[in-house]
Amino acid sequence: MEQHNLGPEWRHVHQLGRGSFGAVQLYEHIPTQKAYAVKFVERGETIDDAVKKEVINHSMLQHNNIARFKEVILTDSVLAIVMEYASGGDLFSYVQQQRQRRLPENIARYFFQQLISGLGYMHSQQMCHRDMKLENTLLDGDPPKIKLCDFGYSKSSQWQSKAKSKVGTAAYIAPEVIVARSGSNYDGTASDVWSSGVVLHTMLMGIYPFCDLNHPNDEVSTIKRIMSFSRREIEYEPPRHVSDECKFLLSRMLTANPMERITVNDIILTPWFQTNLPREFSLQGVAPSPAESPAQPLNDVYAVLNQASVPRIQPSCSGLSDIPEMHDELEMVTDLTPTNSILGSQDFTGMASMDSLPDGFSHMTD
């Protein structure tokens, strides 16, 4: 395992896992004695627009239910992306570890309220996530608190083009994303609501709502069933054991027509969501506490990213790793993340002003 020297203020602790770009390591920030997760990306051609967009979008988000961005550090060979460390793993693993591999309704609501808090804040900042799923929902503390992560597919409508790429994870992907024609737009916030509905259903049932029970790991079958639902050839069946209020909310979130789908603001107003709503629930951004060091200024982030795209000691010529593609009877869904089986073995997956955005990012599209 290669360890990277981030400077005198940082001490390597151990490896956490591997992400799509490479190893994720745990480091201690010596002056504050705080632990941070650090993702390493090989400098050079690998630092493309997709990486830059992920980092910039993440750096703009400051909310208690979003894993905090701290800074980017450049070494001779890699770009280090430093972010808040969530010690409790992800929600996918948490659900799998339960006796029945599902959560009681009150516990699922506890987590869902926090998920919507973080997602609602993103939407208020005119940003959509586009890959909401259990694996991108980290847990930290006791009792565990939700921390949304992985902003590789996120889109900011204030400085990027509207959502149009077919990205996401098969079990969570909304029908309108699957059928979007080349070059046409879709509402990324509405697709986030669909994916969040899948998260809630899966917490309650221990299985994805549209997977083929005979072939739960078959992404093609899952996509076909989602499309069959959108054509009204099959119906969505909410969990039978939950309250009527919960069933109602699930059916409104998992509505095929995005124009008729419930919004985050309306989700918050439902009686089910309001039950035992934590006092700290908020869609407002929260600045770092006095004990935390402030996030890196946006212009500094931009400067480091530009430097990182230039190879140094070991030039990168491989580019971003290809994400497995999948075909269905309609057309290709690009950048599709493989779906973990909630029934199978576990896998480890690991407020800045928009006016201050550097000019160099204004041209970026999907």
User: Which positions are annotated as active-site residues?
Assistant: 131
- In the block, which residue shows the tokens 């948490």? 94
Ramachandran class of 259: left when φ > 0, alpha when ψ lies in -120 to 50, beta otherwise: alpha
39 known member of a binding site: yes
Instruction: Locate 139 and state its tokens.
Output: 């847990």
Instruction: Locate 70 and state its tokens.
Output: 């701290």
Please return the burial class of 184, using the count of CB atoms within 10 Å of its CB with bins 0-12, 13-18 and 19+.
exposed
Give residues with Cβ within 8 angstroms of 284, minimum separation 6: 63, 121
Say whether 356 sits in a helix, a strand or coil. helix
DSSP secondary structure letter of residue 276: T
At 134, phi and psi to the nearest 5? -60, -40
- Separation in Å, CA 180 to CA 173, 174, 214: 12, 10, 28
Other Cβ atoms less than 10 A from the Cβ of 42: the count is 19
User: Which strand (E) or helix (H) includes residue 175?
Assistant: helix 175-179
- In the block, which residue shows the tokens 């565990």? 144
Instruction: Measure the CA–CA gap between 8 and 185, rounded to whole angstroms.
Output: 47
Instruction: Locate 116 and state its tokens.
Output: 């919507």
Binding residues for ATP: 39
The annotation places the binding site at 39
